[in-house]
């Protein structure tokens, strides 16, 4: 990609770079990235390990462009997909200009975060701490957490925020910008993510599955976009997608009585996709079973996990 002028319109130095959001599962990394970018680019769920790939969101102003890399939660993997997720997260440590370690201020104790921080041993990339979800606790509890984390790692900065309601997100942007080097614009101003449409559509459908099925269908779900076609004469985006799961019982839950669950997933996904793309969407969903797909390298590669 051709580099652009590294001067902003007012002749100030233009800063650009990459910031990785890392941490344990379910601490709000995806919600935080969406808040930092100012638009939804990563799916959100209250279930852990929602993010599977390294998802990039782009924030551009007149003086900076920051590419945020939302990584899978670091955990103890139980299958090949889980191993990939941890590998994908750790691979970012030396590839970015800044590591943003996200922790949940509502969690008791710091032992699990301490285990994740040990993985940063020897990494030269600067690390800042973001204590997320401050909207859910009293200020004295936040101050206590700050002191506890100071003893775990030599963070360059500690910023308490609420990604959910936007508390101090603007301050966090300013802190992150200070660590970005002078550089070019890597993406056009209107870019908010560098993932292809198929990836975004599949992720939004998967998000609706996680939201509606809760505990009944865990993270054994994958969405494959088999056909994506824009028909400009009718101003409609046609999407044919298959939801894969690992067991027949999960397939039955996903379809629901007389197709009610699958219909609801489609309605919610279509509504959000129409808002995202600014056009009508015709969404056709099917459910199929691929037993133990999370341990099958060929299927993982087919579903977009390219580094296996």
Q: Which domain holds residue 158?
A: 15-178
| Whether residues 159 and 129 fall in one domain | yes
Structural domain contains residue 189: no
| Whether residues 92 and 128 fall in one domain | yes
| Whether residues 24 and 146 fall in one domain | yes
| Whether residues 121 and 33 fall in one domain | yes
208/80 Cα distance (integer angstroms): 24
Domain boundary among 178, 207, 233: 178
* Contact by Cβ (8 Å): 126, 98: yes
End-to-end CA distance of the chain: 26
- CATH number of residue 28's parent domain: 3.40.50.300
pLDDT of residue 131: 96
Ramachandran region, residue 262 (left: φ > 0; alpha: ψ -120 to 50; beta: rest): alpha
* Contact by Cβ (8 Å): 293, 77: no
How many domains are there within the chain? Answer: 2
Structural domain contains residue 9: no
SS3 (DSSP) at 61: coil
| Whether residues 216 and 107 fall in one domain | no
| Whether residues 173 and 207 fall in one domain | no
pLDDT of residue 47: 46
Structural domain contains residue 1: no
- CATH number of residue 220's parent domain: 3.30.300.20
Residue 15 β-bridge partners:
64, 182
Structural domain contains residue 261: yes
pLDDT of residue 87: 61
In order along its 308 residues, the chain shows pLDDT tens digits of 333 444 444 446 899 999 989 888 778 888 898 899 887 776 544 444 444 456 778 899 999 999 998 776 554 444 455 555 556 556 667 788 999 999 999 988 778 788 788 888 888 899 999 999 999 999 999 999 999 999 999 999 999 999 999 999 999 999 999 999 999 999 888 888 877 778 788 888 988 888 888 666 656 788 888 888 887 777 888 999 999 888 888 899 899 999 999 999 999 999 888 887 778 899 999 999 988 777 777 777 766 665 44
Q: For the stretch 105-123, what's the b/e string if a residue is b when 16 or more beta carbons lie within 10 angstroms of its beta carbon? A: beeeeeebbeebbeebeee
Structural domain contains residue 263: yes
pLDDT of residue 141: 92
| Whether residues 69 and 126 fall in one domain | yes
195/174 Cα distance (integer angstroms): 25
């Amino acid at each position: 990609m051709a580099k652009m002028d590294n001067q902003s319109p007012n002749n100030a130095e233009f800063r650009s770079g990459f910031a990785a959001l890392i941490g344990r599962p379910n601490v709000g990394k995806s919600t935080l990235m969406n808040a930092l970018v100012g638009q939804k680019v990563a799916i959100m769920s209250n279930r852990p390990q929602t993010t599977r790939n390294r998802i990039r969101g782009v924030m551009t102003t007149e003086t900076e462009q920051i590419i945020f890399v939302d990584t899978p939660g670091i955990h103890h993997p139980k299958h090949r997909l889980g191993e990939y997720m941890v590998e994908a997260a750790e691979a970012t440590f030396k590839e970015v200009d800044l590591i943003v370690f996200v922790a949940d201020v509502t969690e008791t104790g710091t032992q699990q975060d301490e285990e994740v921080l040990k993985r940063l041993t020897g990494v030269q990339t600067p690390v800042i701490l973001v204590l997320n979800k401050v909207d859910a606790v009293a200020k004295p509890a936040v101050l206590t957490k700050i002191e506890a984390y100071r003893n775990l790692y030599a963070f360059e900065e500690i910023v308490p925020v609420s990604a959910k309601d936007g508390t101090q997100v603007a301050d966090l942007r300013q802190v992150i910008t200070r660590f970005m080097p002078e550089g070019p614009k890597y993406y056009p101003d209107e870019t908010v993510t560098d993932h292809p449409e198929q990836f975004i559509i599949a992720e939004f459908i998967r998000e609706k599955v996680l939201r509606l099925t809760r505990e009944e269908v865990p993270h054994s779900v994958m969405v494959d976009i088999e056909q994506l076609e824009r028909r400009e004469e009718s101003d409609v985006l046609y999407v044919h997608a298959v939801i894969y799961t690992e067991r027949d019982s999960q397939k039955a839950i996903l379809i629901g009585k007389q197709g009610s669950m699958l219909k609801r997933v489609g309605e919610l996904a279509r509504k959000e996709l129409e808002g995202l793309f600014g056009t009508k969407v015709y969404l056709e969903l099917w459910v199929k079973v691929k037993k133990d797909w999370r341990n099958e390298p060929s299927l993982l590669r087919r579903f977009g996990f390219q580094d296996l």
